[in-house]
Amino acid sequence: MDRMVSYCGLVCSECPAFLARRDDDAELRKRTAAEWSAMYGSDVKPEHIDCDGCISTGGVHTPHCSECEMRSCGQRRSVPNCGRCADFAGCPTINGFLSAVPGARAVLEGERNGAV
């Protein structure tokens, strides 16, 4: 399977919600829901751990996808991810996110430089 990079630089094809959907793995959904509930201080249900990948326009997505500013902006601008956006360097939304997730910055920088 090809690597699928989300708008924000997370790698969808490595995400537990994507893998649980692909493999129809109920146990992975349950474990991930518990981990994400603790990590984000919210009540994530196992049925929320089901996604075809952020960049896919159809199919199933986690509930967060419908409220993700980076995803909606990327779709409006028709860019494959934020690293490919002309406004990447000065965008407060993506840079705010990337300050907390430096690994995603490295992915987007690689995308920006053509090293996928």
Note the pLDDT tens digit of each residue in 4-21: 999 999 999 999 999 999
Domain range enclosing 82: 12-111
Q: What DSSP designation does 9 have?
A: S
Residue at 116 is within a domain: no
Reading phi first (left if > 0) and then psi (alpha if -120 to 50, else beta), residue 53 is in left
Separation of alpha carbons 14 and 9, rounded Å: 12
Is there a domain that residue 90 lies in?
yes
Would residue 6 count as lying in a domain? Answer: no
Domain count, the chain: 1
Residue 43 scores a pLDDT above 60 = yes
pTM, to two decimals? 0.86
